[in-house]
Structure 1
């Protein structure tokens, strides 16, 4: 049974004629008759009968019309509920982020939302209840995470396949270079920038295959026609930076999202500096991915906007 068919049956009981129903619903009388006939085919008991020139409800029709009123009321309640849900800025929002983004963005995001909640400014009100998880997956696996989270922080290299925008919506956050990471007293630290030939002969700590730094190392090997000696495969950038600080290896670290840990005076500063790599595109795109329906929620959009602001402040530094 279709809701509009039940609605027509209900209105027939209230208004007493097919023409009156058609006028009220702004359709043709033949459309009303057709839909009621389709409804009748789904029920063994007659729902209408002729009363002179008019079509009226039988007792069974009246029972179904009463039920139709209850269904219509329930649907209206459901629409109101989903409308409230979509417009509730204080709703719960789930967010996943890969490790380096989480290190740089999670705490500032929480502080920003708390500031919005505690702000005395006019218009300040409810803010989302944020639920954060870390999910560091290979580039091609980020879109699937939108089945489990409202928002997904994702990254991919410029040359890698674009996100499947037929399935997910993309909110760009940053276009971040991956820089060569060396210890402060390493010979390469004296140079303002580095070429593939400068770095190819050193031992490396790099990510596992399928992640951004591994892609850059592949390009370095291709440009120099020399194999790259990867000693350690570690995805956690803090652990990689700690190894680089020994001076025994070099690595790749993201310029913006690793900056809080590497800044002078930072508690986790391992004595590592970053130098840009020339001759190869090392930029990765950091994006927010979401299913289209989730971006209809005020709470999700508020978190997305806050993340854009946090990232803009980080890159401006």
Structure 2
């Protein structure tokens, strides 16, 4: 078939380990002839997320480039679910794993940054936000310092309007390049993205592949100083060396999530191997042996206590995905999820 299949996924060994005797990759067979990217059946998602929890994806795909991604989507039967993940920094995968195909854009095919004018940069969706900030520094383009403190990649920043230090992605985006579920290319304007706080209303099925950003001319020393401020602040108030997923909940109107969590007595709250950080109580931590069930149960417990204490419904900022294990379903604290 000409496929690049990850090492260690030999089907006979998979059967001996008690996995499904026929993987999704087996079922797709010759449909994927000509695909150049990396395909891994029963891929352990815990290795791809910062929380280091979660069951396997039925099939994991890293396309070689945009043409490879398009061919794969055109060949993939429409009834098979597709999920796109980035660096896994704000992702909680449930213990039962993920149905269908998980796509993660490769750094080689989607990780370039290029200065295209005095104030504009074209960046692939797989570039870490921190590297986008560094590219802007090298080009003498201001307005990107806030990305230095965001632990994600450009694709996720585009999808959730990532922001920090008083700046949001919406302020920098000119246009976004994407591919839909049928393998068709799209170019969206800033207005097409429909940005609001930590949200974009662009269709969920679009896979962002690159974007053009615009800043302003600025002295590198001034940019560097702002980036240093971001880093210093982050190291002083966030548990960045723990197994965490960043901010757990969005800030509610007229308040901060951490203040409401603290008021509800949830700083340091622990369930199983999951804990709300003592340092910053809007950060959930895997203390070493947490499961996805532990982390999601902790989050919903916090939501329930904040609702009881303040009457505020906290909305998740961390994305929770996948299947629950049998008998280990987490009930949301409210009907707002």
Q: Which protein has the bigger strand share?
A: 2
Same fold (TM over 0.5): no
Q: Which protein has the bigger helix share?
A: 1
- TM-score, with normalisation over the residues of structure 1? 0.24
- Compare relative contact order (CA 8 Å, sep 6+) and give the higher one, 1 or 2: 1
Q: Which has the larger radius of gyration?
A: 1
